[in-house]
Amino acid sequence: MASSKSGYVSDVWKDSIFDGKVVFCTGGSGSICSAQVRALVHLGADACIVGRNEEKAKAKADDIATVRSGAKVLGIGNVDVRSSANLQSAVEQCVRELGRIDFVIAGAAGNFLAPIRSLSPNAFKAVIDIDVLGSFNTVKATLPHVIASAKAGGVGGRYILVGANMFQTGLPLQTHVGAAKSAVNALSSHMAIELGPLGVTSNVIAPGPIGDTEGMDRLTPASDVDKASSAKIPLGRMGRVRDIADATVYLFSDAGSYVNGDVLIVDGGAWHTGGGAPGHTLAYPEFLISKEEVGRAVVGAREAKM
């Protein structure tokens, strides 16, 4: 994670636009979600990030808090988004210590490479539960506070669910993730319709291949990153965490106040070409036909067999 402002948010935003606001973020210790929160805190918000690893969540929260003097950032660990009780407890602590919740980012997710032939029912279910059930549990636990924020007027009362650009076309080795993220899109659409009359908006940000992140490091070998950034992505580069953070600021700011029920794809046009996708350097369809190649394609085989 870049420590300078230019690494996580653009200069176009006014520093105080989120003064007095609080963001609650699941998956907040991860590369992308922490950049989203970092940008919001820089621009005036306080924050609560939650994750499975307590030490990592607290360390990341302390680090994010350094971007603005006086910022309050809570890091709550031992939270499994598949548990509604875990999330309810985290939300109660957030409100108790920070006073409110105005914005929510549902960013907890799971991923690995696996063709359907190697994908077990348990592995498929694990990703569905983390991405879809986890997003639903996050919404349910935070909803009363987000509605209250919307009713209070001004900037607030907004959800962002983190999706993926593959929903447009599908991808090999990503059946589990594609199914989960398509459901996340549907969840957000229904939220937009039902909660819009209460002043609450819900949108999805769908990142493409984002460089220098834990996910890309795990899913794409380092030797392939340069290929991914130049061969098929129309803008000729991998995405940066700042690209996702800026999209987040837009949707939570007054500039995005009339955007509701949308899926904002932030991928440099990569979904049109398949550029930078996990497993993109494997020769399609040969690697799916060959059992040997299918076996080699699986990254994180232990997770895939859960």
Domain boundaries, the chain: 15-304
pLDDT in tens, the chain (306 residues): 456 898 999 999 999 999 999 999 999 999 999 999 999 999 999 999 999 999 999 999 999 999 999 999 999 999 999 999 999 999 999 999 999 999 999 999 998 888 898 899 999 999 999 999 999 999 999 999 999 999 998 899 999 999 998 877 888 889 999 999 999 999 999 999 999 999 999 999 999 888 876 655 555 555 455 554 556 889 888 889 999 999 999 999 999 999 999 999 999 998 888 777 776 667 777 877 876 555 555 544 333 333
201 beta partners: 158
What pLDDT is recorded for position 168?
Answer: 75
**Separation of alpha carbons 213 and 228, rounded Å:** 14
Q: How many helices and strands in the chain, by DSSP H and E?
A: 12, 7
DSSP state of 56: H
Sign, Cα dihedral of 242, 82, 126, 205: negative
Per-residue pLDDT, 291: 62
First-to-final CA distance of the chain: 30
- Burial of residue 301 (CB within 10 Å: 0-12, 13-18, 19+) is middle
Q: Report how far apart, in Å, the C-alpha atoms of 70 and of each of 4, 16, 82, 174, 296 are.
A: 18, 13, 33, 42, 49
Q: Which helix (H) or strand (E) holds 31?
A: helix 31-42
CB atoms within 10 A of CB 190: 12
Distance CA 182, CA 34 (A): 23
DSSP-derived letter for residue 153 is: -
Architecture of domain 15-304: 3-Layer(aba) Sandwich (3.40)
| Contact residues for 291 (Cβ-Cβ < 8 A; gap 6+) | none
pLDDT of residue 292: 58
What's the pLDDT score for residue 159? 98
* Six-digit token string for 97: 């210590």
